[in-house]
């Protein structure tokens, strides 16, 4: 494997030349965000199996590459997700209940039950709606970044995508436009080794994904995606440069999808357990916990308290969300036209609902 930037060593100490020196509060916020995403995943997969939500895309193994990247951005920056980053929205302040209501698609779902399940959005946190078609979020992110340049706003955009997305035409269009127009974007590629059942070796003939950036005229950097501080450092530097008119950067986080692609997938049908086990041994939560312990910031009692707290928060959010009823039928018609056309009004009346 080509060397990737790494900050946290096996014993929890850090490379002093690379350590971003996170303040204690930030380090704990990052760890909490990763633990929340981990626990949320197992709870949501269980809810899906019980038929209480329709669909879920977990991110087991990718917590550092997601939360480490999100936390490196400023609140006025934008985050453009693929579909595995609830941790990035939650760390920006998205209420868990809003996420749960979207997963159920009920009357309190911020998008009124109209999106596909597990396609949440957090407008207040500048977190764009999820893109299911692989790669389509990349030109959207570059568009937002270009708008920032035109408005002379010194912000940046962080866009998440997978190794599979690097094979799409949208990846090329987005990288090319961003390079030519120096759009303030950080392209964070979560190379989790698989695109459902297609391994990364069948996705590209390039040695790395990061090196693709060179063809578009900007830097690509490869980081250990199981190391939250490495992802944080690279993303932070790239975002600072972007805000400072230095143009885009691609960050390839080398990571692994330890779980299924989604609640509809069974990875044992296409990959071998020894491969999974070798990556499980590099668990990003264990690595970061070792760092916290080494710095004297964490112990077993704090870990137990955090797990309990997160578990209770999720239970509470599920209870609250399950109390809301289904969306009212008039939401089939609202929010589309400023002036509802007569044909729609007729259908709405036919359904026996009143317009708003
Ligand atoms: C344009 C398009 N083609 C195919 C699919 C089906 N599909 C959904 S996710 C996925 C794999 C994407 O892999 P990757 O980009 O590596 O992201 P990961 O799921 O590994 O995070 C595919 C092929 C799709 N959603 N959109
Ligand atoms: Mg992938």
What is the per-residue DSSP string for 160-181? EEETGGGGSHHHHHHHHHHHHH
Task: Determine whether the shortest distance from the Cβ of 257 to ligand 1 is under 6 A.
Answer: yes
Note the pTM of the prediction, 2 decimals.
0.96
Which two three-digit tokens encode residue 73? 């951005």
Answer whether 231's CB lies under 8 Å from 253's CB: yes
Tell the residue nearest (CA) to atom 21 of ligand 1.
162
Cα(246)–Cα(35) distance, integer angstroms: 34
Which two three-digit tokens encode residue 181? 């127009």
DSSP summary character for residue 257 = -
- From 134, 172, 256, mutation site for ligand 1 pocket: most ligand atoms within 8 A of C-beta: 134
Answer whether 252's CB lies under 8 Å from 208's CB: yes
SS3 133: coil
Task: Determine whether the shortest distance from the Cβ of 119 to ligand 1 is under 6 A.
Answer: no
Task: Determine whether the shortest distance from the Cβ of 84 to ligand 1 is under 6 A.
Answer: yes
How high is the pLDDT of residue 355?
53
User: pLDDT below 70 — which residues of the chain?
Assistant: 1-2, 354-356
Answer whether 74's CB lies under 8 Å from 68's CB: no
Q: Give 243 Cα–ligand 1 centroid separation in angstroms.
A: 30
Task: Determine whether the shortest distance from the Cβ of 59 to ligand 1 is under 6 A.
Answer: no
Say which ligand is closest to the CA of 134. Answer: 1
Atom of ligand 1 at shortest range from CA of 165: 15
Sequence-ordered strand ranges (E) for 192-269: 194-195, 198-199, 219-224, 249-254
Q: Give 198 Cα–ligand 2 centroid separation in angstroms.
A: 8
How high is the pLDDT of residue 259?
97
Percent of the chain with pLDDT over 70: 99
Task: Give the Cα-Cα-Cα angle 175, 178, 180 (nearest 5 degrees).
Answer: 105
How high is the pLDDT of residue 335?
87
Report the sign of the C-alpha dihedral through residues 289, 292, 296, 297, in that order. negative
Tell the residue nearest (CA) to atom 19 of ligand 1.
195
Give the alpha-carbon dihedral of 132, 135, 140, 141, to 10 degrees. Answer: 110
Question: In what helix (H) or strand (E) does residue 159 lie, and over which residues does it extend?
Answer: strand 157-162
- Give the model confidence (pLDDT) of 9-21 as tens digits: 999 999 999 999 9
How high is the pLDDT of residue 325?
94
Q: Residue by residue, what is the 3-state secondary structure of 284-347?
A: HHHHHHHHHHHCCCCCHHHHHHHHHHHHHHHHHHHHHHHHCCCCCHHHHCCCCCCCCCHHHHHH
Atom of ligand 1 at shortest range from CA of 191: 16
Task: Determine whether the shortest distance from the Cβ of 261 to ligand 1 is under 6 A.
Answer: yes
Atom of ligand 1 at shortest range from CA of 163: 16
- From 63, 69, 164, mutation site for ligand 1 pocket: most ligand atoms within 8 A of C-beta: 164
Measure CA 196 to chain center: 17
Q: Give 164 Cα–ligand 2 centroid separation in angstroms.
A: 5
Task: Determine whether the shortest distance from the Cβ of 165 to ligand 1 is under 6 A.
Answer: yes
Q: Give 261 Cα–ligand 2 centroid separation in angstroms.
A: 9
Which residues belong to the active site?
Answer: 257, 261, 270
Cα(185)–Cα(155) distance, integer angstroms: 9
Domains of the chain, CATH where assigned: 24-325 (3.40.50.970), 328-356 (no CATH)
Tell the residue nearest (CA) to atom 17 of ligand 1.
162
Q: Give 200 Cα–ligand 2 centroid separation in angstroms.
A: 7
Residue recorded with tokens 């937002």: 144
Instruction: Give, in order, the Cα–Cα distances in Å from 189 to each of 69, 97, 162, 219, 336.
Output: 11, 28, 5, 13, 33
Read out DSSP for 7-24? -B-TTS-B-TTT-----H
Q: Give 144 Cα–ligand 1 centroid separation in angstroms.
A: 23
- From 57, 188, 194, 195, mutation site for ligand 1 pocket: most ligand atoms within 8 A of C-beta: 195
Tell the residue nearest (CA) to atom 26 of ligand 1.
133
Helices then strands, each counted (H, E), the chain: 12, 7
Q: Give 84 Cα–ligand 1 centroid separation in angstroms.
A: 11
- Give the model confidence (pLDDT) of 176-214 as tens digits: 999 999 999 999 999 999 999 999 999 999 999 999 999
Task: Give the Cα-Cα-Cα angle 175, 231, 303 (nearest 5 degrees).
Answer: 145
How high is the pLDDT of residue 352?
83
Say which ligand is closest to the CA of 135. Answer: 1
Which two three-digit tokens encode residue 147? 């708008």
Atom of ligand 1 at shortest range from CA of 62: 21
């Amino acid at each position: 494997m080509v060397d990737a930037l790494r900050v946290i060593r096996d014993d929890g100490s850090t490379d002093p030349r690379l350590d971003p020196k996170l303040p204690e509060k930030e380090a704990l916020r990052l760890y909490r965000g990763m633990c929340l995403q981990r626990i949320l995943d197992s709870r949501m997969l269980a809810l899906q199996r019980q038929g209480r939500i329709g669909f879920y895309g977990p991110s087991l193994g990718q917590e550092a590459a997601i939360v480490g990247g999100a936390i490196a951005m400023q609140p006025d920056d934008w985050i453009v997700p693929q579909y595995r980053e609830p941790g990035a929205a939650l760390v920006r302040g998205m209420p868990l209940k809003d996420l749960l209501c979207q997963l159920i698609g009920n009357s309190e779902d911020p998008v009124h039950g109209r999106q596909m399940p597990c396609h949440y959005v957090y407008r207040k946190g500048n977190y764009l709606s999820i893109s299911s078609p692989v790669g389509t979020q990349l030109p959207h992110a570059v568009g937002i970044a270009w708008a920032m340049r035109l408005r002379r706003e010194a912000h940046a955009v962080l866009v998440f995508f997978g190794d599979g997305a690097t094979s799409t035409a949208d990846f090329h269009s987005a990288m090319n436009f961003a390079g030519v127009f120096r759009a303030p974007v950080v392209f964070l590629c979560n190379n989790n080794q698989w695109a459902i059942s297609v391994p990364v070796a069948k996705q590209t003939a390039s040695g790395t994904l990061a090196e693709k950036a060179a063809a578009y005229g900007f830097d690509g950097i490869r980081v250990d995606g199981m190391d939250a501080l490495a992802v944080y450092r690279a993303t932070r530097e790239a975002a600072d440069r972007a805000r400072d008119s230095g143009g885009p950067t691609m960050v390839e986080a080398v990571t692994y999808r330890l779980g299924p692609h989604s609640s509809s997938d069974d990875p044992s049908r296409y990959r071998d357990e020894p491969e999974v086990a070798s990556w499980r041994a590099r668990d990003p939560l264990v690595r970061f916990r070792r760092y916290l312990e080494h710095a004297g910031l964490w112990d077993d009692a704090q870990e137990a308290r955090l797990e309990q707290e997160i578990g209770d928060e999720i239970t509470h959010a599920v209870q609250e969300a399950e109390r809301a009823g289904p969306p009212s039928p008039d939401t089939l018609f609202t929010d589309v036209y400023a002036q509802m056309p007569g044909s729609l009004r007729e259908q709405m009346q036919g359904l026996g609902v009143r317009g708003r």
